[in-house]
Structure 1
């Protein structure tokens, strides 16, 4: 069996879990599209992250392809309908990086509420700036608003409740009553989107990017938020209107934001310029779900899914 892996993963887990297969592991292959397509001629499996576009072009170049392993949970880089039509199974690593993303959200919220993320460089430059940080805010007693209440949002809610936050969530796919709102650390209040926007001190997004969620956090939505609120997006770029968000940060309507995902990745210089000069924003390169621990969990889950599918088809 030939397996192609054009993006980084834990190589020891890959080779141990799929021993006996022909493995082409080249984390830079994602950037050499023509070579990638040529390498897929005899491939029965491909394992990808979020940069490899598994589309009609790739499927046409891989006539023997039977399974796609996704090192993560987002599937917007994979044409699911085209895969289904070809009989190609798709396996995301559901749950494997939930903790890592949840910790990113909570840690970003704490840092932004206190306003301390820019201080190390200021202090190193000789700026004591103590007065500027005397009015930072505690996370205890604040309200966390979640847009979407899937597995990552629930892990985030558990940590927020344990820290003394009040938590409410909007998810149109969940009934307003049921055990899904009850967590070991407390209960999350279901609410409509307008209530979540208006009541959140910290708004965290946990929805996929679809035609219905694109720019759902736009100028009008941001205007509904209370002055001084914080927005965190570690879900998908495009859910937030970055132009509107940068304006809300510049005017001071929002006190801070953390973005781990962007409409275009990597963002072009003109997109990055929107946030230049802002001291109240944390920008990271789509790494919320990446940690030493989650990288191994994601690799283990993905390899196990691919191996099980390939062996089941053989038998």
Structure 2
């Protein structure tokens, strides 16, 4: 067998990052998988396997790693975000990078609204009251103390309007919310009004972020943006942690600058013990562990598309190329 006919060597660096059944690619190959891989070990594992195809969800591959991997031809990212890969370095070395698209159009919007509803209905605060025995001691049949607001008639401001933003907008309209969008390209959808970023900040009752993390979007919500939001506003982030200045948000929530926030992402994951949001014990802040994407159905769609991407590349027609 000649070198050109040798089977591709595929290494999945963090197989345990997805809980789903993965079919093997329909071409000759050798498959190696690791439950997880530390960033410092990634290049060596790929080098040891003489990998031509690397699969990674969250294990970074930087320029220095790629320099050590002359046989690597494809990096198949098992996620939508590709900030873990040095894309410019990959292009310079002729390495194709593909990602996963539109797989979480149900699970992430549902999680977004779970956060919105929990905050607007004060579920955390009222559960704490019950655990403290306040309802049991109430003089009336119900317990007041935390203001509840309906979603109907309120304004949802979406920052970013890709497939996920559109799905969130659809749910919002079903709740009777007015939907406004800040997006770089024209929107043109019926029932959605495109406005400036300033208008989203200053007029929205709920702001939900649906953008990739880039140098231009990093810390796009900081102290100066938070102070411009309505006092009764919620900030929801199920996109990327670096979109929001975490210390500024913690300070704003403590000071009552905004009404609440629901986050599924942090700048560093898993978070260090000193993360300013990790130990924020406030009833108007909900933090979930980057789980918005992770329904069983969504993960199966993800891995099916992942192998589709690998097979398309091997067939000479790469898809979802970044």
Please give the TM-score of this superposition, normalised by the length of structure 2.
0.87
Of residues 220, 225, 231 in structure 1, which corresponds to 2:229?
225
After TM superposition, list the pairs within 5 Å mapping 1:29-48 onto structure 2. Answer: 30-31=37-38, 33-34=40-41, 36-41=42-47, 42-48=50-56
Which 4+ runs in 1 deviate beyond 6 A? none
CA positional deviation for 1:127: 4.1
Alpha carbons 1:258, 1:283 under 8 Å: kept: yes
Q: For residue 293 of structure 1, what is the aligned residue in structure 2?
A: 297
Deviation track 1:54-90 (CA, whole Å, cap 9, x = no partner) reads: 1113212322111111122111111111111111111
Task: Tell me if structure 2 keeps the 8 A contact 1:168–1:196.
Answer: yes
Q: Which has the higher helix share?
A: 1
The one of 114, 121, 124 aligned to 1:114: 121
1:167 paired residue number = 179
1:221 CA displacement: 0.7
Measured after TM superposition, the shift of residue 118 of structure 1 is 4.7
Question: 1-side partners of 2:55 and 2:216: how far apart?
Answer: 28
- 1:3-42 matches, within 5 Å, as 3-7=10-14, 8=16, 9-10=18-19, 12-15=21-24, 17-18=25-26, 20-28=28-36, 30-31=37-38, 33-34=40-41, 36-41=42-47, 42=50
Partner SS state of residue 68, structure 1: strand
* Residues 20 and 133 of structure 1, relative CA distance in 2, 3 Å threshold: farther
Q: Bigger radius of gyration, 1 or 2?
A: 2
Deviation at 1:166, TM superposition (A): 0.3
Equivalent residue of 2:274, what SS?
A: helix
Q: SS state of the match for residue 109, structure 2?
A: helix
For the 8 Å contact 1:100–1:290, the answer to whether it is kept is yes
Structure 1 contact 98–155 (Cα < 8 Å) conserved: yes
Is the contact made by 1:40 and 1:61 (CA closer than 8 Å) also made in structure 2? no
Q: 1:298 to 1:118 in 2, by over 3 A?
A: farther
> RMSD of aligned C-alpha atoms?
2.2
CA drift of 1:31 comes to 2.4
CA distance in 2, matches of 1:167, 1:102: 14
8 Å Cα contact 1:243/1:274 also seen in 2: no
SS in 2 for 1:98: coil
Name which of structure 1's ranges 39-48 and 264-273 shifts more when overlaid on structure 2.
Answer: 264-273
CA gap of 1:13–1:45, structure 2 versus 1, over 3 A, is same
- Deviates further, 119-128 or 276-285: 119-128
Judged with a 3 Å threshold, the aligned counterparts in structure 2 of structure 1 residues 143 and 275 are, in CA distance, closer, same or farther, namely farther
Indicate the residue corresponding to 2:67 in structure 1: 60
Distance of 1:273 and 1:97 partners within structure 2: 25
Distance 1:31-1:118 versus aligned 2 partners, 3 A rule: farther
CA distance in 2, matches of 1:118, 1:91: 43
CA pair 288-84 structure 1, distance change in 2 beyond 3 A? same
Distance 1:286 1:62 in 2: 30
Establish whether residue 102 from structure 1 lines up as the match of residue 114 from structure 2.
no
TM-score (norm 1): 0.89
